[in-house]
Structure 1
Amino acid sequence: MNLIGKKIKIRNFDENDLGQFLELVQDKNNHKLAGLEYTNDIEFGRDLLDMYRRRDGSYTVALQDNNKMIGIIELNKRGESTELLLTREIGFVIDKKFRNQGYAKEAVQLMLEYGFNDLQLTEVWASTEKDNLAPQKLLERLEFKYIYEADQTLPYTGQHNLVKYYLLKK
């Protein structure tokens, strides 16, 4: 993958991303707000990076000028049934040092163009934690429509996780 924007590019993960990747997974707020795995264990962080490197649909958001990783963006399949083949779910997280600078918006726009034009998708879904207002506002600016809210309770933990779902159709 190599999508080029004005300030960022979306590319495959590589081994040089480890330091920046560890910063993302060592930030508890990224786990709380974006569902990104959390760890302080460097070896487990290496394993996570390797998992992302192998995962179809997961990419690095990197700065255009120096190739530095600043985030993760994913365009994941929603299932293998016929009615879901032309749909995906988009997810993203940007390092806190690089937020509010337009990088997330540019990354999502690049992925949407790729999805609708190259993959011929008919719809893209996105979900956000109920209290994570920044991505909700971004999704709405990009013409995603709020569809519903769901409680994704984790079995046997009693933890409730309220999530809002948004949809963009071609």
Structure 2
Amino acid sequence: MNLIGKRVKIRNFEPSDLGQFLELVQDKNNHKLAGLEYTEDVDFGRDLLDMYQRRDSAYAVSLVENDKMIGIIELNKRGESAELLPTREIGFVIDKKFRNQGYAKEAVNLLLEYGFSKLQLTEVWASTEKDNLAPQKLLEALAFKYMYEVNQTLPYTGQSNPVKYYLLKK
């Protein structure tokens, strides 16, 4: 994958991303608000990066000017049935040092354009934590429509997790 915008590009993960990747997964706020895996263990972080490198729907968001990774973006399948094949769920997280500067919006736009034009998607879903207002505003600015809220129970914890779902149709 190599999608290039004005300021960001979406590309495959590289071993040299480890330092920045560790910053993302060692930030508890990224886990709380975006569901990103959390660890302080460098070896486990290296294993997580390896897992992301092998996933065919997960990509690094990097700066065009120097190729520094600043985030993660995914366009995941929602299932293998015929009616779900032309749909995906998008997810993203940007390092806190690069938030509120338009990088997430540009990255999401690049991946949506790719999904609708190259993959022939008919719809893209997104979910956010109920209290995570920044991505909700971003999704709405990109013409996603709020659809519903669900209370998800987290495995093995019994904790309730309210999530809002948004939909963008072609």
State the TM-score, normalizing by the size of structure 2: 0.99
- What fraction of aligned residue pairs are identical, expressed as a percent? 83
SS in 2 for 1:84: coil
Matches within 5 A, 1:94-113: 94-113=94-113
The answer for the alignment partner of 1:47 in structure 2 is: 47
The answer for the alignment partner of 2:32 in structure 1 is: 32
The answer for the alignment partner of 1:115 in structure 2 is: 115
* Equivalent residue pairs, number: 170
Q: What's the CA shift for 1:158?
A: 1.8
What stretches of structure 1 move > 6 A for 4+ residues in a row? Answer: none
**Do residues 128 (structure 1) and 128 (structure 2) align?**
yes
Q: Deviations along 1:20-40, whole A, 9 cap, x unmatched?
A: 000000000000000000000
Gaps of 5+ in 2: none
- Counterpart of 2:67, as a letter, is N
- Counterpart of 2:150, as a letter, is A
The answer for the alignment partner of 1:84 in structure 2 is: 84
| In structure 2, distance between residues paired with 1:83 and 1:18 | 37
- Counterpart of 1:138, as a letter, is L
Further displaced range: 148-157 or 28-37:
148-157
SS in 2 for 1:83: coil
Q: What's the CA shift for 1:156?
A: 4.1
Q: Deviations along 1:88-134, whole A, 9 cap, x unmatched?
A: 00000000000000000000000000000000000000000000000
- Counterpart of 2:161, as a letter, is N
The answer for the alignment partner of 1:137 in structure 2 is: 137
Q: What's the CA shift for 1:155?
A: 3.8
| In structure 2, distance between residues paired with 1:78 and 1:132 | 22
SS in 1 for 2:167: strand
Further displaced range: 154-163 or 128-137:
154-163
Q: Deviations along 1:41-75, whole A, 9 cap, x unmatched?
A: 00000000000000111000000000000000000
State the TM-score, normalizing by the size of structure 1: 0.99
SS in 2 for 1:21: helix
| In structure 1, distance between residues paired with 2:154 and 2:105 | 30
Gaps of 5+ in 1: none
| In structure 2, distance between residues paired with 1:148 and 1:88 | 17
SS in 2 for 1:147: strand
SS in 1 for 2:79: coil
| In structure 2, distance between residues paired with 1:125 and 1:115 | 12
Is the alpha carbon distance of 1:155 and 1:22 closer, same or farther for their aligned partners in structure 2, counting shifts above 3 Å? closer
